Amino acid sequence: MTPYDQLLEKSKVIHIYQSVLSLLHWDQETHMPSGGLTMRGEQIALLSQLAHEEKTSKSYKAALEKLVSLKTGKIKIKGLSKLQQIAVREWQKDYCRANKLPSSFVKAFSQLTSEASQVWALAKKENNFKLFAPFLQRIVQMNREKATILGFTDHPYDALLESHEPCMTSARCSKIFNGLQGELKGLLKKIREEKKPDVRFLHRRISNEKQKEISHWLTSAMPVDPEYTRLDLSSHPFSIALNPKDSRITTRYLPHSFMSNIFSILHEEGHSMYELGLQSEYWGTAVCESASLSIHESQSRWWETIIGRSFPFWKHFYPQLQKILPSHLKGVSLDKFYRAIHLVTPSFIRVEADEVTYCLHIILRFEIEKQLIAGSLAVADLPEAWNAKFKELFGIKPPSDAQGCLQDIHWSLGDFGYFPTYALGNILAAQLFSTFAKEHPDWEQKVESGDLAFIREWLKKNIHQWGRTYNYDEFAKRITGKPISESFYCKYLKKKYLNPILS
C-alpha cells in the first residue's frame, strides 16, 4: 500500500465517524423521542472526541508526514495526480488546524452544545432568554478559548470565521457588508414607496396532506435522482449528506404559509445537488468535500431565489400548483402570484425574509457575534443590543426574544462565524449567475419549458465536481474573471425589484 493509499484509508475512517455523527443528528431532528436527548448528547460528544483523536493520532501524523511537510505544506513524493496533490494539500491544512485543539476540548464543547440546543429550544418556546443565557455564556467563552488556541492576527473572530470560510477575515467581511448594507437600505427605501401587493391568498390555511402533495410534486420536478435522496420533516429545514450517494433534506409545514415549504425544498435541494455532484471516486478526500459553507450556500440560494423566484420558473410551474390548490389559487393570475411572492417588507424572522432584507439579518448577527467574541458585549445585554441594532437596520423592534435573539439555533450549537457565509453565499450566487446567463442567453426559455437539468449540469461542471480544489475567491475569479464583489448581487436585486412587473 502506497503512503497515499494508507492515508486515504485513515481519512475514510474519519469520514465514517462523521457520517455516523450526521445520522445521529438527523435522527435527533426528525425521529427521536425527546426523552433520549440527554443520552444522545453524550453519544455525540464521545463520537466527536473519537473522530478528532483519529484525525490527530500519531499514526495519522506519521502517514501524512510521508507525503507532505507539516510545516511548509510542500509535497515530498512524486507521481501524484493533480487531484491527489490537492487531497494531500487539504489533509495537511486540516491536520494542522485540528491538532491545535485538545480532544478533551472537542468533547467538552460537543457535550455543552448538545445540552445547550435542548435548553435553547425550551427558552425559545417559553420566550425566556434568561433560561438560555448561562449556556450561551459558556459557549461564548469556549469560542474565545478556541480562537486563542487556533490563533489569529487581528481579531479573535477571524479564527472562528476561518472554520466556515477560510478566505475571509472579519475586516474583509465588514468592508463587503458595509457596502452591501448601504445598497440594500437604499433599495428598500425605494421599494417601500411602491404599493404593496395583495398577499392574503398566500396565507390561507393549507392542510398537511396538501402540503405533502406539494412536496412530492416539487421534488419530482427537480433534477435530482430520487435513488440517492429522501425528504423528511423537521422543525427547521436542513440537509445532510452521508456520502455522494446519500443526500437527505427536510422541510416543514406551516399551515398558513405553504410557500415556506416550497422555498425550503428548493433551498435544501440546492444543497443536495451540490453534494451529489461531488466526484464519488474521490470519497475520503477533499476533492469529494464541499469547498466551504459560503459556496454551499451559494448553491442553495441559487435554486431558492435566483431560479425558484424567477418569472420563467413560475410560468411553467404555477399552472401545476394551481391544479394542486384549485380553491386556494382560484382567480389568482400568474402576475398576481409573482408579485405576491416578491413582497418586500421588514420582518423579524431571518428564514422567512425576502431577498432584499435577508442579508440585513445576516449583517446584524455578524456585528453582534464579533462583539460577543471580542468581549465588548455581555451575553446578559444581548437582547437589548439585538433590538437596538434591529431597529437601526429595519425600523422595527422585535416583539419578543423568541422572534429576536432566540430565533436561530446556531449559537446553541456553538457555530460562531457561520452566519456571514449566508450573505457571502448570496453574493457569490449572483456573481456566478452573471456568467451563467451570458453562457446560456436562452435560459429563460428553457426554464419556461420545464428544463432544469441544464442548470444543474452547468453548476456541476463549474462548482460541484471540484470539491475543495478551489476556494471561494478562486471560484469567483475562475468562473467570472473578476474578484468577488457585492456589486453583482446589488445589480441583480435592483434589476429584479425595480422592474415594472413588481411595481
CB-based contact 354:497 (threshold 8 Å): no
Task: Kindly give the residue spans of alpha helices, DSSP state H, lying in 375-403.
Answer: 382-394
Q: How many helices (H) and strands (E) does the chain have?
A: 20, 3
Whole-angstrom CA distances from 156 to 132, 138, 321, 373, 455 are 24, 16, 49, 7, 39
Residue 410 grid coordinates: 446556531
Q: Give the whole-angstrom CA distance, residue 131 versus residue 145.
A: 23
Q: Which of 268, 289, 297, 304 is catalytic?
A: 268
Q: Which long-range contacts (CB under 8 A, 24 or more apart) does 83-90 make?
A: 83/282, 83/285, 83/287, 83/469, 84/4, 84/285, 86/285, 86/286, 86/287, 86/468, 86/469, 87/8, 87/282, 87/285, 87/286, 87/287, 88/4, 88/7, 89/286, 90/285, 90/286, 90/289, 90/468
Cβ neighbours for 78, distance < 8 A, ≥ 6 positions apart: none
In three-state secondary structure terms, 247 is strand
User: Residue holding cell 466526484?
Assistant: 279
**Amino acid at site 182:** G
Q: Is 268 a catalytic residue?
A: yes
Catalytic residues: 268
